[in-house]
C-alpha cells in the first residue's frame, strides 16, 4: 500500500517558531450595555480590576472578544488586592450556531 503525501511535505522537519505570541484572550463582561475587561476566569467565577468596574450584581454576560460565552448569575463579590473577584451560581453555556 502506498501513502500519498501533499507536495512539499517532508517528514522530520521542525516547524518554524511562531514570530508572535499566541492570541491573547480578550475576555469581558457586559452589564446593561457596558463592557468591562476580565483579567481571569475559572469555573465558578472571574476577576476584574477594582478601578472603573462597578460592583456587579444579578445576571451578566461573559464574552471572549465578540464571541458570547456564558450568561452568569453573580452571587458574591470581594476585593482581593487590586482585583474584584466575582463568584456566580450558574453559567448557561450558549450552543454554537
Name the nearest CA neighbour of 88 among 50, 38, 52: 38
For residue 14, pLDDT beyond 70: no
Average pLDDT, the chain: 81
User: What nine digits make up the cell of 64?
Assistant: 471572549
Tell me the percentage of the chain whose pLDDT exceeds 70: 73
Give pLDDT, residue 91: 62
Task: Estimate the share of the chain in helix, then strand, then coil, as percent rounded to the nearest 5.
Answer: 0, 50, 50
pLDDT band at 7 (very low <50, low <70, confident <90, very high): confident
Say what the pTM is: 0.67
Amino acid at each position: 500500500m502506498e501513502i500519498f503525501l501533499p507536495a512539499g511535505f517532508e517528514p522530520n522537519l521542525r516547524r518554524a517558531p511562531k514570530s508572535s505570541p499566541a492570541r491573547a484572550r480578550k475576555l469581558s463582561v457586559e452589564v446593561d450595555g457596558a463592557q468591562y475587561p476580565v483579567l481571569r476566569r475559572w469555573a465558578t467565577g472571574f476577576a476584574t480590576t477594582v478601578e472603573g468596574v462597578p460592583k456587579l450584581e444579578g445576571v451578566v454576560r461573559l464574552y471572549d472578544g465578540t464571541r458570547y460565552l456564558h450568561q452568569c448569575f453573580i452571587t458574591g463579590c470581594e476585593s482581593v488586592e487590586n482585583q474584584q473577584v466575582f463568584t456566580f451560581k450558574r453559567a448557561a453555556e450558549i450552543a454554537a450556531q
